[in-house]
Amino acid sequence: MARMAETQSLFGDPDPPPPPPAEPAALYADLVFDRPLEVPYTYSVPASLAGDVAVGKRIIAPLGAKPDRGWCVAVRTEAPDRPCKPIIRVLDPEPLVDGHLLDLTRWMSRYYLCGWGQVLQAVVPAGVRRKAEGPPPRASWLVPTPTDDLPAEPPKLTPRQSEVLEHLRMSPAGMETSALLAAMGCSSSVVDGIVTRGFARKVVRPEAAESPSSPMARAHPLTPEQSEVLSRLEPSLTGDDFAPFLLLGVTGSGKTEVYMSAIEKVVARGRQALVLVPEISLTPQTEARFAERFTSVAVLHSHLSESERQNRWRKVAAGRAQVVIGARSAVFAPAPNLGLIVVDEEHEPSFKQESTPRYHGRDVAVMRASLLRIPAILGSATPSLESWFNAARGVYTRLDLTRRVEDRPLPRVEVLDMRHPPARVPPGRALSDPLVHALKHALRAGGQAILFLNRRGYSPFVVCPGCGETATCRFCDLSLTFHRERNILMCHHCGFHQPPSDECPACRKTTVRYQGLGTEKVHEELQRHLPGAVIRRMDSDTMGKPGSHAQTLEAFRNRLVQVLLGTQMVAKGLDFPGVTLVGVIQADAALHMPDFRASERTFQLLTQVAGRCGRGESPGRVIVQTLNPEHDAVALAARHDFLAFSRGEMEQREMLGYPPFQRMIRIIIRARDEKAADDYASRFAGACRLAHESAEPKRPIKLLGPAVAPVARLNDYHRRHLLILSPDSRHLHSVARAALASCRPDGGAEIAVDVDPGNML
């Protein structure tokens, strides 16, 4: 021993003492499961599995009587104070989430009051969970043959093949075959036909390959306003701190251009950027705009096949995508060195998930940016009042784009009062004379039109003139919509349908009347007014097939379609220079919903629809049909005046004590048995009161309800709800958490907790 010490001192510092060779330290793993459980459970790790266990992997372990699959969120050596069961098996060879995503998901489970395991389950796509292992995939690509290389008389293609080819040609460098199939909703035989006729060739590229570099499109020279915004972003893009921005930019002001220039800065530092957009805006056009500027773009949307999603997830995790674009759940994309998060159209309700975990993609994005100490840009022409409030308090830095690019004017919006001539229409008709006149005029001048009506089907109400009864769903407290093409009465919530009958089901005396307007009916009316025009309907009835959405937009872009009539799908994000007329058929449809955001939503929708117009050379014209021309949501949208609208609306919210001035948690309770719903709802309200009273220090709280939910019955469940409001988010959470812990549902009742609810029905 003495000799050894001597030798050590010859070589400088002594080595640390060698580890005790005998017993390896016992190992414990904390697991969370896909259940609404608050805390992780600790298990012991048998020595044989000690080498496999790691944070972020899934592990099978006994939970109650049965083995279940949990996520490992911590590994430690201190023994817990209680005896624990051993784990059974480690599922994943590599962790599926890193430490950062664990932090983010833990925050989510606390903030959204749900299980950490439930969040993790939702964060990692099923395909990734199932195929955590596998050889690096090789992807089949299709490259279109340049037109110059085709024979003078190329072989004939079927119309479907031509359509698909046309889409492929938008990416001269080629597309992954699976992406093309998904985008066009076609079978591989269509593609094979194109290849055998020489219009494209198949190549295999390892997934690792970045989209082959075509010359990168040069950016537009920025407008002075865009440059100003970019220079204010610059220090954060090159710095290392969390910095949230709210970009208020009128429609067509070039927000996307600003995002891309900002992304270039972080990509230049070897970092990645994440761009969240509403699902509806994930069009080939969006993809193409980014693909023109960046060598590797990964798009995550809901139409991807499981294996495709897994491939892209892996590409992102390997840091091979400079830009990740996706809808809500892409906020969890595992980019290893993220430098910027952008949330476009940040006000969109679709960023909020309506099932557990009920998270808001925008808010999670901001939290992720804060954990990573990077900038986040939220952009919109009509910001949510929540974000606006944050900007007003200085939590977010506000940036403005007040003008459209190239000094294009914002479209003139004409508000038509449908209560009086000349706009008044007889019952059952949708289009006023001035709107029809404008349509004819626009088409004659070679323009295109977008018409918006947020209701699909033919007639939303089937009413008996004798007894006044309305046809309602057997399972929901909602009226049935008549769909003429399918000849059914359908519930838009649960899908229940029945054949229509002329006789009133209640009194059996009279013939029912079909009331109200749906897109199907307006389509008919349009065809009568515009014989010869090509009119396409775009709603979830006509756009059921994957790819049909992209196809319709493509046809519209190529001016094969003159009039696009549709629901929300036509309202948002579209950028078509040929559109010279936008018509809103019923501006009031959502104005009187029992929802404190009814005005805000109406204002946003009208502003967005109007913004689809006049994006080309010719100025646009917008016509809004309404029964409430004086309402702020209508009148101020017509003037594109977000500032005035937000001022008035904020005053209202503050007076009424609604968000963003107060934070809100909505508790929804449902049960098959009405009494069970009532009982549990009142017990839960009692538990909230008790939790509030025993809390120290005292903070204000307001409890509204329990009450029958605006939609009293859904999917054959009776529904009650309860709103808890407080200006103090922490107090609000602790009251709800205590009530949840002390008052478990019983008697068949179920509970859903919705923090920062978006849907009030």
Answer whether 739's CB lies under 8 Å from 642's CB.
no
Query: Of the ranges 91-99, 123-131, 493-501, 672-680, which one interacts with Zn ion (CB under 5 A)?
Result: 493-501
Residue whose tokens read 């050596």: 77
Smallest distance from the beta carbon of 610 to ligand ADP, in angstroms? 12
Is residue 717 close enough to count as binding Zn ion by CB under 5 A?
A: no
Answer whether 454's CB lies under 8 Å from 516's CB.
no
Spatial separation of the C-alpha atoms in residues 124 and 324, rounded to whole Å: 16
Smallest distance from the beta carbon of 606 to ligand ADP, in angstroms? 16
* Contacted by 322, from ligand ADP, Zn ion, none: CB < 5 to 8 Å by type: none
C-beta closer to ligand ADP: residue 342 or 725: 342
Residue count at the site for Zn ion (CB under 5 A)?
Answer: 7
Q: Could you list the residues that contact ligand ADP (CB under 6 A)? A: 220, 222-223, 226, 249, 251-257, 405-406, 575
Smallest distance from the beta carbon of 60 to ligand ADP, in angstroms? 47
CA distances from 652 to 437, 628, 645, 673 (A): 38, 18, 11, 37
Is residue 476 close enough to count as binding Zn ion by CB under 5 A?
A: yes
C-beta closer to ligand ADP: residue 40 or 252: 252
Smallest distance from the beta carbon of 323 to ligand ADP, in angstroms? 15
C-beta closer to ligand ADP: residue 356 or 568: 568
Residue 532 has a CB neighbour count (10 Å cut-off) of 7
C-beta closer to ligand ADP: residue 252 or 375: 252
Query: Of the ranges 81-89, 147-155, 492-500, 666-674, which one interacts with Zn ion (CB under 5 A)?
Result: 492-500
Smallest distance from the beta carbon of 569 to Zn ion, in angstroms? 22
Q: Which two tokens stand for residue 347?
A: 């006000």
DSSP of 629-687, one letter per residue? TTSHHHHHHHTT-HHHHHHHHHHHHHHHT-TTTSEEEEEEEEESSHHHHHHHHHHHHHH
* Contacted by 405, from Zn ion, ligand ADP, none: CB < 5 to 8 Å by type: ligand ADP
Stated as kind and residue range, the H or E segment containing 34 is: none
Spatial separation of the C-alpha atoms in residues 278 and 362, rounded to whole Å: 11
Helix, strand or coil, per DSSP, at residue 419: coil
Is residue 473 close enough to count as binding Zn ion by CB under 5 A?
A: yes
Say how many residues make up the chain. Answer: 761
Q: Which two tokens stand for residue 437?
A: 């006149």
* Contacted by 562, from Zn ion, ligand ADP, none: CB < 5 to 8 Å by type: none
* Contacted by 249, from Zn ion, ligand ADP, none: CB < 5 to 8 Å by type: ligand ADP
C-beta closer to ligand ADP: residue 200 or 299: 299
Smallest distance from the beta carbon of 290 to ligand ADP, in angstroms? 11
CA distances from 625 to 413, 436, 452, 599 (A): 11, 12, 10, 16
**Residue 575: closest CA among 303, 383, 289:** 289
C-beta closer to ligand ADP: residue 157 or 170: 170
C-beta closer to ligand ADP: residue 575 or 595: 575
Is residue 491 close enough to count as binding Zn ion by CB under 5 A?
A: yes
Helix, strand or coil, per DSSP, at residue 98: coil
Smallest distance from the beta carbon of 404 to ligand ADP, in angstroms? 7
| Pairing state between β 338-344 and 297-300 | unpaired
Smallest distance from the beta carbon of 345 to ligand ADP, in angstroms? 9
Residue 376's φ and ψ, nearest 5 degrees, are -130, 135
Determine which residue in the list 41, 496, 556, 642 makes contact with Zn ion, applying CB under 5 A.
496
Is residue 475 close enough to count as binding Zn ion by CB under 5 A?
A: yes
Spatial separation of the C-alpha atoms in residues 475 and 490, rounded to whole Å: 11
Is residue 494 close enough to count as binding Zn ion by CB under 5 A?
A: yes
C-beta closer to Zn ion: residue 493 or 672: 493
DSSP of 493-513, one letter per residue? TT--EE---SB-TTTSSSB-E
* Contacted by 92, from ligand ADP, Zn ion, none: CB < 5 to 8 Å by type: none
Binding interface with Zn ion (CB under 5 A): 473, 475-476, 491, 493-494, 496
